[in-house]
Structure formats: C-alpha cells, structure tokens
Structure 1
Amino acid sequence: MRVASLILLSSMLAGCMTVGDSGRATLPEMSSLAVYPAQTQTQKALGLIPPPARPVAIAVYGFTDQTGQFKPSETGQTLSRAVSQGGGSILVKALQDAGNRQWFTIVERESLRNLLNERQIIREMRERYLGEANINPQALPALLFAGVLLEGGIIGYDSNTVTGGAGAGFLGIGARTQYRQDTVTVYLRAVSVRTGEVLTTVTASKTIASQSLGASAFRFVAFRELLEAELGYTTNEPDQLALQQAIEKAVYGIIMEGVDLKLWDFADAKAGWPLLYRYREERAGNLDAKAVADAVKRIAAMPPAKMTPRRIAPPETSQVRSAGGTAMR
C-alpha cells in the first residue's frame, strides 16, 4: 500500500510538469537572456495582406487607456494600471506590419513637440554656423502630412468573465485545477483629415487566460510515518500580449473595412478577395471561433507577399500629395 501511494503521488506530480522535445518531464525553463518575442498569429496575418494600390498616409496622435481601471490586487489598492499604457506604440508597430510596411506611410504625431524642437535646433545651428538666412530645403524638407487620422483606445477590461475549476481526492491524495478568463476590448476609427468624417470604425476583443494546476498528498504511509507533499503550476497569459493581438486584429479590420467601403483597395483585387470574403464571414458571425482560428493559421502559413521597395518623396511632390489624400473625400 505504501509503494502504491508513492507511485500514485509521483504520477500526479509529474502531470503538473511540462514534457520537452526529448520526452522527459521538465520544469519551466528559467532564462535571464533578452529575446525577441515570437510573432503572434494576428501579426503574421497582417504581414501577409496583399499590397495596396497606393500607400495611405496615416497619423496616430494617441491610443490611450480609456477604462481608468487599476490592476486588481488581493492585498488592497494598487497604483498599477490594469492594461499597458503603451497602446500608441503597439498601434504604430501594427500599422508597420500591415503588408510588410507597404500599406501605410506613418507620420510621427505622438511626440510631435520633440520633433519640432529638433528641427528648430537644426535651423538655428545652420543659421549660426552656415549663415543661412533661408534654410536649404534639401537639408530640412517640409514635414509629411497625413490624409487619415486613427483615433480610439482601450475601452474595456473585464475581469473574471469566465471562472471555474475541478478537483478530486482519495485517501489524502488529490489534485485540482482552476481557470479564469479576462477580456480586453479596443476601439479604432479612421477619420478623414480634409472633411473630419469618420470613415469607418472597428471594435476587437481578446481573452486573457489563466490556469492553475496542483496536486497534494497528506496521509500516513506507515505507523508514525506521515507523507505530506504539494506541488502547483500556474500559467498567466501576459496582458500586454493580449492587448497587442487585439490592436492587430483592429488594424486588420480597419484595412478590410476600408477595402469593403472603397476607401482604398488592393493592388491585385484577386489576391485580396479571399481575405476580404473571410473577413465578411467573420464579421457577420458565420464563422465560429474554431473556424476563425483555422483561417488565421492558414493565412499565417501562406508564403509572404513580394515586397517592393518604396521611397518617400518630399511633400512638395505629387507622390506624397496623392498618398496624403488617398482616403480623403
């Protein structure tokens, strides 16, 4: 009986460990090296969008946390926010990933004051050391302008949207599991600079999953011999990663909505039609969660689109004027 109890306990504790490529049960690897995070499935889907007929000049002044929520704590009030405050930076990165940097010409607006200060320093230095009364436009050309503004923010962070667990025990030996889901929601809208019209809006959500596994034993295995053991393992999906995927999903939706509304278009309509059709089905609710996940995996497995180099010309040329007015009515 004593041997059987130890074998059962060992099997339960091993079940809480991960299995490596070699087939051996191992604990999670602890590493102090800095790494580049792996691409998310939504990020891969953005990169595989076919090129546009011409790039859209776009500006992001900010993408803020509009929930005002603080991170929940069991010990009391905390000053940490529930979600990342770097939504604007994540949004700019997602716009760059769209079509491998071919969809959008992104102009800096979030730190515009710093940019203008540096340009003023260049102007003053050239006046003092080169004696230029009029600054050479080749050395300091005019800033690019945007035809579309992207506005919005993080509009929801709901905790414990789904909770549950299970457990069992026998003769002092037991196991348990618990899980919880939170949901983060982002809102994104495209606004025409020329008319101020809201061209299109998109809302995207992403669940944040947490799971806990544990096993314990407390029993006498022999006379005056008490066995007591406990082991647990908890996984929490990073909030920042969930926010990143929600923003990437919103950018993907903005592109498809713009194509659907004829605000912009693919360079090759036949190449973009399958993605647009799948987006329409998903928006209409005709695809369940599994079908959507399978579609995203198929898109991620597609070969990358051929990337053509693109040169950003000074704003006085017709090329930039057309880019700035692509989506303006």
Structure 2
Amino acid sequence: MKPSLSRLKKNMWGMLGFLLLISLMLSGCSRETATEASAAPANGKEITLVIGAYSIAKDAMADILPKFQQEWKAKTGQTVKFQESYEASGTQARAIIGGFEADVTLLAMEGDVDKLVKAGLVDKTWRDAPDGGMITRSVVALGTREGNPLGIHDFTDLTKPGVKVLYPNPQTSGGAQWDINAIYGAGLKLSEEQGKKDPAYAKAFLQKVHQNIESLDKSGRASMAAFEYGVGDVVVTYENELLARIKQGQKYDVIIPKYTIKIENPAAVVDKYADQHGTRKVAEAFVEYLRSKEAQTMFADYGFRPVDEEVLKANEKRYPIPSGLFDITYLGGWDEVRATLYSKKGIWYQVLAGI
C-alpha cells in the first residue's frame, strides 16, 4: 500500500527539520571553535596574526612575513598564519577604527597611529619603543620617465608651465601628506635663501606646483599605477616606492631634491584587538622582528632607509643624504602641521580652493 501524500509531506518536513537542526548544531560548533581559536593564547599549534598596513609596505612584507614565520616556528614550535590588508595609510587607519580587527598595523605616519590611540585601540605609550616606534625611513623623491626628458632636478622644476605632476590626495593618503609637507617645506627653505622663513612664500610655492597637478589619487601606489599607465611627466612619492618599482622592472629616473623631508614610518600593536584575539605575544614579537637586522636588511632591499644604524651604514652608498634634508620638526611637528596645513581652513585646503 502506497503512503498517502500527506504522510510523505510530513516525512519530508520532518527530514528537513532534522537536517536543519544538525546544520545549526554544526554551525554553532564551528562558530564556537573560531571564537576559541581567536581568543586562544599563543601556545597552540597555530595562530593567525592580522596585519593592517599602508599600501607601499606590501612588497617588502612579501619577503618579511615568511622569514618571521620561520623564526617564530623555530623558537616556539607554533605556526603563524597571516591575514593581510593593504590600503592607503589614512584609509587603513579609518578601517581599523571602523572595526577591521588588525593585531598589528604599519602606517605611513605617526598621526595615523595617533588616531588609533584616540579611538582607544593603541596604547599611548607606543612611541616608547625603540626609534620612537618607527621601523623604516625614506625621503620624498621625484620619479620621471626614463632619461628624465624634461630635465627635472628639483621641486622648483614642477612649477614650470606644461609639466604634468602626480601625487596622491592627503585626505586619503598619509604618503600624500609627506609629499605636501616636502613641497611646502622646500618653499620655506627657498624663502630662507632670500632672507627669512616665510610661510606665505611657501604657500605660494605649493600653489604653483599644484597648478600643474594632473592626477590626485587615493594612494601613493595609485599614483604610481597612473604614472606607469602613461599619465603625467613626474610623480612625487617615496624614494622607496620608486626603488621598489625599479626592482620589479619599471623604468624610472629617481630625483632626490636638495630640499626634501625625511619620512618616518611607524608600526604598532593594536592593543585592543591583540588582547581580544589572544595574539599579543606574537604581535609584539612581530613588531620587534621588524626592527631586527634581518628585517631591516630586507626593508633596505625594497628601497626603505633602515632605522638600524648598522644596516643603514652598510647601505649608505645607496641612500645618500641630500644637503637640505629636513624633518617634521622643521615644520613645527605633526600637531602644528595638522593645524596649519590640513585643518578645514588650513593651507592645503586654501590651495585646493585657489584662495
């Protein structure tokens, strides 16, 4: 006797209900396991470290991360897996504040780490680390087409009619703030040659350069991509970014202006998330490893100026110091720079508005 249609339906719904119950049980176990794994102390066989970095660090990280994995495995027997995110520095900082749970961050400038401090994610003592919390240095440089067809030698050449200039937007890119700081600071240095340090002269100089802007991109990496696609005559960027692209086969002439700024790039443990994930021990070890001679040598191979003095000395021929090099203190420090250049009525926004 064949079962009735109603009985078949009851059996079908019963089976579906049973399968749904099993699915929910398995799902619950999976979520519990994932939660336990993220909160587990660094003594299991495997741990995941989430890295939130600025875009220009990506190439060097491709070599550095596997080396750290090997070292940590040899020391502890534990396997480190990495989840990586690379964005413009300002964008990355906002993402972490917005809920991207990075255990460690590498950013373009200390101001972006300070945003994480204000958000309660990074401890205010992060600068107490060696070298003030910095892991790499660089300088703002100029990249031209191979052979430097327009004869670009300094920031003053960027003010000439017809020179098409690229640099990223300082609203999204920490690298762009270094670029603008360098140009504005060069204007201050030029004004000193004429008798006094004159902010009005420096602003006018920045305006002249910006009048030749061809592309205002999201990040330093985006500016490089546009330049390599054929946009513009000269790109204002990190020296290390140019050297890294040359290493990969791109054709550039690298110009180091007489007056340019020393860039310093920080790394820090994102304390709140590292503690939540149970990754503090490995996160602190990773940031410490970034200052090791091995990691500093790899950074140098990718065009960064090392913070380790021995590694820097070993690479001094590759990284000459321009005669007019200045640092952020020449501009009054980051607090002064943020107030005078990047506030809502600051110099940079006046330049954008043509005021």
Higher helix share: 2
Give TM-score, length-normalised by structure 1: 0.25
Give TM-score, length-normalised by structure 2: 0.23
Query: Who wins on radius of gyration, i.e. which is larger?
Result: 1
